[in-house]
């Protein structure tokens, strides 16, 4: 993987300082981050890993296959423990992390617990001459949560929009739905449109606004 491709792939995994790319192999990208020995990227590893898990493509085995020596594989393991420590702070789990926990040695479990406490108390995390900033680790992960919340909000809004469109289509014809929306938005109607609205659409609106009818409809749906 070239440096340019790595930087673009990092953007797709949630590191916002890089340009986006349409192509992404999450396991190759994570392997390249491990091999980079770049502290800045390692501090963002928990975010990259969380986004990789969201894509359902992440596989620790496939990442390890792209690491050429024991040192790189050890760094990958340490970064996995680091990520697990940060996820523990936020009570966050993934299907892969539940499996990963079952493979941990007692020393690994102690390491996760120790690093979790370091993160909570804002102490630097160190191993083999590498020092990671707890504020950057938490800050990047906070950004991940904000982005996920915004993504969920957009998905919820879109679902509600589609649901409303479907409901309107069950009650109104296309022309009636158009007049309903124009009236709702306060847009002017032509004389013909106003007459049609009053004669047809308004009657349906009045019926839909009836609280008793709404209650009975919900009761029927619950049966």
Residue 185 has pLDDT above 90, yes or no: no
Q: Which residue has the higher pLDDT, 212 or 110?
A: 110
Domain boundaries, the chain: 3-145, 172-223
| DSSP string of 118-138, one letter each residue | HHHTT--EEETTEEE-HHHHH
Reported as a single tens digit per residue, the pLDDT across 149-179 is: 666 677 666 666 667 777 777 888 888 888 8
CA 65, 69, 72, 73 dihedral sign is positive
Reported as a single tens digit per residue, the pLDDT across 71-88 is: 999 999 999 999 999 999
Instruction: Please report which confidence band the pLDDT of residue 14 belongs to, taking 50, 70 and 90 as the band edges.
Output: low
Residue 111 · residue 123 · CB < 8 Å: no
The stretch 22-50 carries a mean pLDDT of 88
Residue 19 has pLDDT above 60, yes or no: no
Q: Which residue has the higher pLDDT, 114 or 4?
A: 114
Longest dimension (CA), the chain: 80
Percent of the chain with pLDDT over 70: 85
């Amino acid at each position: 993987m070239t440096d340019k491709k790595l930087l673009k792939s990092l953007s797709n995994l949630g590191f916002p300082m890089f340009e986006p790319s349409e192509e992404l192999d999450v396991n190759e990208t994570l392997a390249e981050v491990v091999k980079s020995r770049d502290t800045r990227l390692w501090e963002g590893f928990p975010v990259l890993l969380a986004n990789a898990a969201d894509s359902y493509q992440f596989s620790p085995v496939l990442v390890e296959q792209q690491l050429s020596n024991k040192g790189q594989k050890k760094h990958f393991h340490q970064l996995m423990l680091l990520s697990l420590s940060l996820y523990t702070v936020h009570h966050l789990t993934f299907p892969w992390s539940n499996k990963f926990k079952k493979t941990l040695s007692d020393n690994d479990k102690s390491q996760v617990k120790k690093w979790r406490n370091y993160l909570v108390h804002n102490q630097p995390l160190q191993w083999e001459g590498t020092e990671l900033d707890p504020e950057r680790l938490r800050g990047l992960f906070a950004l991940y949560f904000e982005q996920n919340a915004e993504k969920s909000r957009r998905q919820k809004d879109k679902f509600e929009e589609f649901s409303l469109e479907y409901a309107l289509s069950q009650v109104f014809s296309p022309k009636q739905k158009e007049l309903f929306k124009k009236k709702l938005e306060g847009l002017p109607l032509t004389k013909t449109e106003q007459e049609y609205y009053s004669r047809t659409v308004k009657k349906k609106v009045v019926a839909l606004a009836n609280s008793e009818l709404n209650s009975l409809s919900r009761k029927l749906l619950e049966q």
